[in-house]
Structure 1
Amino acid sequence: MMAEAKTMTYLPPKLHTSYYPTFPPKPSEDSLSYIRSVLTAPTTALMGVVVDGRKPERHAVTPRCRVRKMVGGTNRWRLPESLGSDLLGSSQALRAINLPYNESMVHILTAENPHQSINLDMEKPYKFPLADMRPRTTTGGDRPVASSMLPQCPSPPYSAQPKPKYAGIPPIPTFVPSRARPAKPMDVFHYHSKRTTYPTGPDVLLHCAGMDWELHRPFLQKSETLSSLLNYADNPCPRYYYKNKASETLDNYINRSHIYSNEYREISSRLNKVEVKDEAELGKERRGLDHPAHTSARCMANMTVITLDLKDPVITKHSIAVALGNLYHDETEVEVVDVVGVLAVAYHLKFKHLENGCARIMMRSIRSRTVCSFYQAAVKYKQHEVATSCERWLECNLIPQLSTQIQLRDLPMDVLQKILKSSRLFTFNEYSLYKVLAYWVFLQMNPQIQLMPSHSSVLAYFNSLPKNSSLLEREEGQAYAPLFQTLRLHGIIDSSHIQDIQQMNILPQSWIVHILAQHYQALHGGGDMTLMTNFNAAAIRQGFIVDDEPPYHSEVFSLHGFHFEIKAVRTSKRGTYSFYMQRLKPTDPTLTFRQCERATFSMRPDRDVKYKIMVQTVHDGEQELYTTGPLTQRFGLGDKTSRSEVMTVDNLVKPIFVSFALIFPPS
């Protein structure tokens, strides 16, 4: 008997609980132990021998967990033993614990927000957007390329006096949390004005920058502009006070209600107020406790309306609020980020007290980020002390600090030329000045750059320009020629530096030939620099900064076969240093192996040298300068004739900027 076939359908059981994904299993301790040992091995090795003298425990060696004894210089250190004198192991361990961000990690950290890359319009093709708050380094195309930072063709020709193109580029916006409540200009004004109590209400209404500012007449006397506006304005109407608190409350209720007519509101206001004499007579009479000025805080007055039009791109509503708020207290309260705008408002208001306060704040806050804006504001608003302080700061910090910051592009051309001609200018060597000029020209020709470029990027950009002529010989570069003419190019004697100058192709070939001819003539003339007669304009400079703990600092100054050691030595007295230079023998241990092997040495037993030692420091906010003045001395190879005069200076405060300048007169 055959059984009938039936179609059976399987129905899964109904789940009464929601689905929860299972957690992935935890890795075993054996698989994690090798990773931990590799990560901690460099740190353990750099710590050295422990107190009990026992060696750290190694990880067991298995086919999957190998500990190699010999690894390359780019690999990480895997042994926990003390390194001792193992230089290769020390280098590997330091690299292991100081890993920089690689290119892939930088792309991940700087990637766009995925929320911004959602294509909301289904009809348009997908395109990866860029955030507006981030700087754009590409000018065309859908895909950014690495070479966008280096244009392959020169910029359009400039005029004789090129205007800075970065003036129209907005600054990178600062981050503000979404839940943060931004401070409005009126809030800032009330923060300052409410700190000073006044018996009457505001009696002056100032229309400025599209806002109404309620002010008090006595405080406006600090500003000459506002005082003159008040004198020419119409006389104010008599002031009225509410009789008491109940009258004030009733009048406010009637004014806010919609059931009362205007005529009834005027009658109520007239009955609830009492007229008060002017402020001069009010101060003479003796006010009792039942006087309206004591019982009511609100003054019902017809204010004097004045209008002030401030047309200055630096002035904002926030700066106006801070400036007007400072009318109500004697001490100057201005933030560094707002000091330029507040100074502009104080200048137009002729608020001398606030101008002087802003000047003091600016002189205390001169940094790489502020020196350019402070100098331009000081010149525009006639703050000569601030402008002088900015110049003194640039003379010492143009090379050490500003040359590495993007704010270098904001430095005006006339100021840069003035600083380069200054006799107080500090520089490490003459090539440092040429390098900072090349960076400045690069930033002027590429105003879209938001970060300071590397030296290789600047070198590649200038090398990509046409080779038929130098930059200074073309129309777009003729305006920069006066800057390079202030340099002492004959002081660039390193062959690698001269090679970089040739590759950049900024200077004309005739200039480079003239530099090489001067070097050749000096070498064959026993070091005599016959063409250099003006010491202040032709002396070759080299300097260093004393800003660390070692009690001395020394460098080698080599010029045309003669080698000198320039030194700064701290004495036993605190803050006292001695500065001098001495000639080195060819076998002196101070010289490096490269200098002894490849440098040129003159066998002349003596050499006439005209030199100057200059020391600069900042003490109590004042720039101090100490110098020996130009001195001439014959340097020999003996112990008594090899050293210059020693200049000892007391009460020096770090950082100390030390400069040596010398020239070889004909002898």
Structure 2
Amino acid sequence: MGSLGSRLRSPPRSPQGTADSSCGAPGHGCKCRKRKRSSECQCDSETEEEDSLLNTPRRKKLKSTSKYIYQTLFLNGENSDIRICALGQEWNLHKVYLCQSGYFSSMFSGSWKESSMTSIEVEIPDQNIDTEALQVAFGSLYRDDVLIKPSRVVSILAAACMLQLDGLIQQCGETMKETISVKTVCNYHASATLYGLDSVTKKCQEWLLNNLMTHQNVDLMKELSVMVMEQLVQSSDLLVMQVEMDVYTALKKWMFLQLNPSWDGPIKQLLADADAWICKRRKLGEEQAFLNTEQGVPFIPVFRHVRLQYIVNDLASARILERDNIVPPEWLSAVYKLQWFAMLRTEHDNDIGPQDANKEEFELNSMRCGRKLAKDGDYCWRWTGFNFGFDLLVTYTNRFIVFKRNTLSQPCGGAVSLQPRRHIAYRLRLASFDSSGKLVCSRSTGYQLLTLEKDQEYVVMNLDSRLLTFPLYVCCNFLYTSPPSDRQTEYGVVLNPGWTKSA
């Protein structure tokens, strides 16, 4: 009975001098104790907290309406009012959804006979389109998002363009830009050009300019067309490793692969086999320059954009040009004249280099060169060739890149200009890439004019160590001499022989 009695016992009395009273809050019997008339009631704050919780939305994933529509209407074809037949397959669809497509919207409007038909045969003129691509394209009309495999993106893009599905076209373009690699870039470039995706074409072009010389690949060289290679070689944005002679060497390997597509070997063996192929041609008594032969004519547009003036300024490179006999002698004669007159201007007319901004001249005629820095450290180098007596030393140390005009302080194997002051136009770029060749770090000085006195140094770039990723590629463009007043001809010499059809 003791336990039962304790449960029935009355509540304890309040201590003397105090009294239990309700706070008077409506809706419940609150027993909180008032101390001051102005004090806040505890139950008021609790009520506010409860109200806040009651009015705060909670996310709970229900069965998606889009998923239900896709399953019921598209996959199951329930309540279909139109049958679409294409490539031997049928889809039971709905006009109200098909009208999202510009292709079908036009078909169903006006007086076209298809507007009243319940079964339509669609002709597919594009060989890139298959039934799987059509399945994705039709399905995109019934759902909010579409997953696109990079391996299928070109076919889906083709279907989206035919059906005029702007949203799907845009998603295909984003997928392509995110997945450019050595295996996809040529196909993406051709498809983007065909279907008018200019932003994708530009991205592919940038990838090729960055990777063609820095990450040479046999399969990529086999795929690159004459038209695309011409666009790359003429660009001043091509990342060149090390000098212009390396552009010529890369083209020699590319041309060999175009003419011998069955060649299969390591990249290190490619140049030796290309040289052996050229040597065999000489042994057969062929005296005509290869580009003048029927087999070589298709490659003229590409070799026309090699900046030969920066190859003939190095003796070893000039001898290789003569030995290979790929480039026509008349091209080389014009370039030799060009360089000779430029040297005479430098020596006798006191041409101390470009002093006025001429970006067009710079883009067409600047010397392209580069260097790979495998890891962080101290580096100092110069690019080979007689650069009109301008011996430029480039230093990378302590996160600085420095240009120095060497005249007296460092030994040099060639002639050095002792003019008190020289001008150059330059652009320096830094780049690093991930495993797929995508640019992860990039900096550029932009087009600049610089004046250097004897042995003067100039800090070109101060680098933030947090942004640097190695290997780091340093790419430079230089213009050492002032452009002639008439850029096309001087002394009867064609200044850019490769840019004229007569050459």
Residue 461 (structure 1) shift = 1.2
The number of residues matched between the two structures is 389
User: Within 1, Cα distance between the matches of 2:315 and 2:68?
Assistant: 67
1:507 corresponds to: 327
Question: TM-score with structure 1 length normalisation?
Answer: 0.51
- Output one character per residue of 1:438-493: Cα deviation in whole Å (capped at 9) or x when no partner: 22322332234455661011111122225221012223323322322211112124
- Output one character per residue of 1:295-327: Cα deviation in whole Å (capped at 9) or x when no partner: xxxxxxxxx322211111222333333333333
Structure 1 vs Structure 2 CA RMSD: 3.7
1:582 corresponds to: 404
Q: Which amino acid aligns with 2:453?
A: F
Residue 653 (structure 1) shift = 5.8
2:222 corresponds to: 409
Q: Does 1:487 align with 2:269?
A: no
1:541 pairs, out of 341, 362, 368, with: 368
1:360 corresponds to: 174
Q: Does 1:398 align with 2:279?
A: no
User: Within 2, Cα distance between the matches of 1:193 and 1:212?
Assistant: 21
2:236 corresponds to: 423
User: Within 1, Cα distance between the matches of 2:364 and 2:453?
Assistant: 23
User: Within 1, Cα distance between the matches of 2:335 and 2:122?
Assistant: 59
Residue 584 (structure 1) shift = 3.8
Q: Which amino acid aligns with 1:470?
A: A
Residue 652 (structure 1) shift = 4.5
Q: Does 1:434 align with 2:248?
A: yes
- Output one character per residue of 1:194-249: Cα deviation in whole Å (capped at 9) or x when no partner: 8933377161322111222333444434322234445553658xxxxxxxxxxxxx
- Output one character per residue of 1:605-637: Cα deviation in whole Å (capped at 9) or x when no partner: 645141312325589989966334241413313
2:270 corresponds to: 454
2:185 corresponds to: 371
User: Within 1, Cα distance between the matches of 2:210 and 2:363?
Assistant: 17
2:293 pairs, out of 453, 456, 474, with: 474
Q: Which amino acid aligns with 2:87?
A: A
User: Within 2, Cα distance between the matches of 1:607 and 1:197?
Assistant: 76
In structure 2, the CA distance between the partners of 1:325 and 1:622, relative to structure 1 (3 Å rule), is farther
Matches within 5 A, 1:130-149: none
SS for the counterpart of 2:296 is helix
Matches within 5 A, 1:189-200: 196-198=70-72
SS for the counterpart of 1:207 is strand
- Output one character per residue of 1:263-295: Cα deviation in whole Å (capped at 9) or x when no partner: xxxxxxxxxxxxxxxxxxxxxxxxxxxxxxxxx
Q: Which amino acid aligns with 2:310?
A: G
User: Within 2, Cα distance between the matches of 1:372 and 1:568?
Assistant: 35
Residue 338 (structure 1) shift = 1.1
Residue 435 (structure 1) shift = 1.7
In structure 2, the CA distance between the partners of 1:549 and 1:450, relative to structure 1 (3 Å rule), is closer
Q: Percent identity?
A: 21
Any gaps of 5 or more consecutive residues in structure 1? 1-191, 237-303, 572-577
Maintained 8 Å contact 1:558/1:564: no
- Output one character per residue of 1:497-535: Cα deviation in whole Å (capped at 9) or x when no partner: 333323322012343455556667777887789799844
2:93 corresponds to: 215
In structure 2, the CA distance between the partners of 1:208 and 1:532, relative to structure 1 (3 Å rule), is farther
1:323 corresponds to: 137
User: Within 2, Cα distance between the matches of 1:622 and 1:384?
Assistant: 22
Q: Which amino acid aligns with 2:394?
A: I
Maintained 8 Å contact 1:586/1:601: no
Residue 354 (structure 1) shift = 0.8
2:279 corresponds to: 463
Residue 434 (structure 1) shift = 1.0
1:563 corresponds to: 391
User: Within 1, Cα distance between the matches of 2:375 and 2:79?
Assistant: 59
Residue 537 (structure 1) shift = 2.6
Q: Which amino acid aligns with 2:383?
A: F
User: Within 1, Cα distance between the matches of 2:258 and 2:201?
Assistant: 23
In structure 2, the CA distance between the partners of 1:468 and 1:551, relative to structure 1 (3 Å rule), is closer
SS for the counterpart of 1:462 is helix
SS for the counterpart of 1:442 is helix
Q: Which amino acid aligns with 1:458?
A: A
Q: Does 1:233 align with 2:114?
A: yes
Maintained 8 Å contact 1:467/1:505: no
Residue 426 (structure 1) shift = 1.8
Residue 361 (structure 1) shift = 0.7
Question: TM-score with structure 2 length normalisation?
Answer: 0.66
Q: Does 1:385 align with 2:207?
A: no
SS for the counterpart of 2:393 is strand
User: Within 1, Cα distance between the matches of 2:347 and 2:136?
Assistant: 62
Residue 345 (structure 1) shift = 0.8
Maintained 8 Å contact 1:326/1:333: no
Residue 562 (structure 1) shift = 4.5
User: Within 1, Cα distance between the matches of 2:297 and 2:351?
Assistant: 30
Q: Does 1:307 align with 2:118?
A: no
In structure 2, the CA distance between the partners of 1:328 and 1:568, relative to structure 1 (3 Å rule), is farther
Looking at both structures, which has the greater relative contact order when contacts are Cα pairs under 8 Å and sequence separation is at least 6?
A: 2
Residue 397 (structure 1) shift = 1.9
In structure 2, the CA distance between the partners of 1:354 and 1:414, relative to structure 1 (3 Å rule), is same
Maintained 8 Å contact 1:614/1:628: yes
Residue 569 (structure 1) shift = 4.6
User: Within 2, Cα distance between the matches of 1:649 and 1:235?
Assistant: 68
In structure 2, the CA distance between the partners of 1:600 and 1:207, relative to structure 1 (3 Å rule), is same
Q: Which amino acid aligns with 1:511?
A: W
In structure 2, the CA distance between the partners of 1:383 and 1:603, relative to structure 1 (3 Å rule), is closer
User: Within 1, Cα distance between the matches of 2:316 and 2:68?
Assistant: 65
1:627 corresponds to: 445
Maintained 8 Å contact 1:614/1:627: yes
Maintained 8 Å contact 1:615/1:625: yes
User: Within 1, Cα distance between the matches of 2:199 and 2:347?
Assistant: 43
Q: Which amino acid aligns with 1:462?
A: I
User: Within 1, Cα distance between the matches of 2:233 and 2:180?
Assistant: 19
Residue 413 (structure 1) shift = 2.4
Maintained 8 Å contact 2:405/2:452: no
Maintained 8 Å contact 2:129/2:155: yes
Maintained 8 Å contact 1:532/1:538: no
User: Within 2, Cα distance between the matches of 1:373 and 1:531?
Assistant: 47
Maintained 8 Å contact 1:608/1:665: no
Residue 362 (structure 1) shift = 0.7
Maintained 8 Å contact 1:208/1:309: yes
In structure 2, the CA distance between the partners of 1:621 and 1:212, relative to structure 1 (3 Å rule), is farther
User: Within 1, Cα distance between the matches of 2:430 and 2:101?
Assistant: 40
SS for the counterpart of 1:233 is helix
Q: Which amino acid aligns with 1:582?
A: K
Residue 372 (structure 1) shift = 1.4
Q: Does 1:550 align with 2:363?
A: no
1:224 pairs, out of 102, 109, 129, with: 102
User: Within 2, Cα distance between the matches of 1:449 and 1:193?
Assistant: 50
User: Within 2, Cα distance between the matches of 1:337 and 1:316?
Assistant: 13
1:176 corresponds to: none
SS for the counterpart of 1:475 is coil
